[in-house]
Amino acid sequence: MRRMAQVGSVGLSLLAGCMGAMGGMNGSPPVVVRAPTDAPWEVARAPDTNAAPTIVEVTLEARPAQVALLDGRLTTLWTYNGVLPGPLIEANVGDEVIVHFTNRLPEDTTIHWHGVRLPVEMDGIENRVPPGGSFDYRFTARDAGMFWYHPHVRSEAQVGHGLYGVLRVNGPLDAGLPAGKPVVLSDALVDAQGGLTTASGMMTQMTGVEGNLLLVNGVVRPTLNVRAGEKVRLQLVNAAVSRYFRLSLPGHLLTLVGEDGAWLERPAPVQELLLVPGQRADVVIEATGSPGSELDLQSLAYDRGHSAGSNEPANLLHLRYSSQPGISTPALPATLATIPALAGASASRTIRLGESMGMGSTTFTINGQSYPNVPLISSKRLREETWDIVNESPMDHPFHLHGFFFQVVTVGSKPVGHAGWRDTVNVPSNTTVRIKVLLDGFPGRWMYHCHILGHAEGGMMAELQVDP
């Protein structure tokens, strides 16, 4: 019944004519349906204050700020530099990145550089920054791709309050592709006045918090103007704390060129794309529609277990074709990268993801224990390992490993159709995903966890010790 109360509280003007499209599943609040907007939706940029061509030096401040999420209503969020998403940090492969960070929040925080291979003391796990404190993050951008940053302290609450931003590292391949547009997908739970609220209760604790506003670079249903024949490249990031986005653009293929921080071997056209929390997808859309037509990039129904997720398509991003005649654009390169096949022979491990219902709450486990009691895995740099991630629960879990990339071999009995590198993979309920991990990164103690952030905090988190 909480759900009905929420529908009523969102405000009649927003809901006029769309009651039929409101029903969420039990665990998820109904999504606010809204007309497309022409409001600007480009991500803000962090100015590079260093004149040296191979050093990117920026300032980030975590602070409360008021952001317009719904017309006429300001929502108080926690932001990086006052904007949602946080500003884009842009570098080239090989650049040194220096981030002067200050915490203006009322509690400790850190910045974790999701997917970036960097020294462990820069990973945002140690070195908590207290209120009023500062920390300089410094690392070399080794890999081209789209990465993102977010706190690793009380992450469900802090990310849910708006703390997330993107780091784009450009490589030589980018020159042969259309210019990418960073597109950060997330959600927020707001009340009728635009105030950020939070859901609680057993069901939410089990499924993770989902919002009632679907945000694309912080805007509800922005408009992307396209011309027929054009190739539009979107660098998608799922920064939501729990929400899965199952993306589809009716009548169009989505051509994947990269996922997480890496290129695919060759472009892979797909009908739809499941982007789970933490993942990125670099996608080229060939605008094959007719001049003057309009449609939406949608998130389709997806049940991620315990009736969480959405049960009807929701419009995320509105595409509007200009009435100008179509143009022709060069084909994408046939091959993008060479992906070495991994032997994965130095160790075989089994990582069992579980959940158990206790008195009033759900406990999340890895190999039967909750963080920090999960036994440490130990290995050595440059090893290639095979991990079977066995999901023994009735809910999907997005599995994320810090500091290294892996290749997904099979999902259940199905081989993965294309070769690529990932740092986050969905492990469907009651299914085993086999990955091959290449420990080519820095030594240290690295986290791995479910990227439904409430699950990670509920215990589905553990550590991997990598010795030099």
Judged by the rule CB under 6 A, the positions of this chain that interact with ligand C2O are 112, 114, 150, 152, 278, 400, 402, 447, 449, 451
Choose the one of ligand C2O, Cu ion, none that binds residue 452, judging by a C-beta under 5 to 8 angstroms depending on kind.
Cu ion
Least separation, in Å, of the C-beta of 254 and ligand C2O? 23
Sheet containing 165-170, strands listed edge to edge, beginning at the edge strand earlier in sequence: 86-92, 165-170, 145-150, 112-114
Q: Single out the segment in contact with Cu ion by CB under 5 A; choices: 82-90, 158-166, 377-385, 455-463.
A: 455-463
Decide: is 455 part of the binding site for Cu ion (CB under 5 A). yes
Choose the one of Cu ion, ligand C2O, none that binds residue 114, judging by a C-beta under 5 to 8 angstroms depending on kind.
ligand C2O
447 token code pair: 């986290």
Is residue 318 within 8 A of residue 294, CB to CB? The reply is yes
Least separation, in Å, of the C-beta of 446 and ligand C2O? 9
Choose the one of ligand C2O, Cu ion, none that binds residue 221, judging by a C-beta under 5 to 8 angstroms depending on kind.
none
d(CA 107, CA 114): 21
99 token code pair: 């981030």
Cβ nearer to ligand C2O, comparing 151 with 289: 151
Number of shown-chain residues binding Cu ion (CB under 5 A): 4
Least separation, in Å, of the C-beta of 399 and ligand C2O? 11
Decide: is 450 part of the binding site for Cu ion (CB under 5 A). yes
Cβ nearer to ligand C2O, comparing 321 with 387: 387
Closest CA to 153 of 115, 111, 119: 111
Q: What string of DSSP letters covers 130-149?
A: PTT-EEEEEEE--S-EEEEE
d(CA 314, CA 298): 5
Is residue 133 within 8 A of residue 145, CB to CB? The reply is no
Choose the one of ligand C2O, Cu ion, none that binds residue 434, judging by a C-beta under 5 to 8 angstroms depending on kind.
none
User: What CA–CA distances, in Å, run from 330 to 24, 40, 229, 231, 326?
Assistant: 42, 28, 10, 9, 13
Cβ nearer to Cu ion, comparing 299 with 393: 393
Q: Single out the segment in contact with Cu ion by CB under 5 A; choices: 127-135, 176-184, 342-350, 445-453.
A: 445-453
Choose the one of Cu ion, ligand C2O, none that binds residue 402, judging by a C-beta under 5 to 8 angstroms depending on kind.
ligand C2O
Choose the one of Cu ion, ligand C2O, none that binds residue 449, judging by a C-beta under 5 to 8 angstroms depending on kind.
ligand C2O
Q: Which residue is nearest to ligand C2O (CB)?
A: 114
d(CA 299, CA 244): 9
% helix / strand / coil in the chain, to the nearest 5?
10, 45, 45
User: What CA–CA distances, in Å, run from 345 to 15, 71, 390, 437, 467?
Assistant: 56, 56, 19, 10, 18
Cβ nearer to ligand C2O, comparing 112 with 243: 112
Residues engaged in binding Cu ion (CB under 5 A): 397, 450, 452, 455
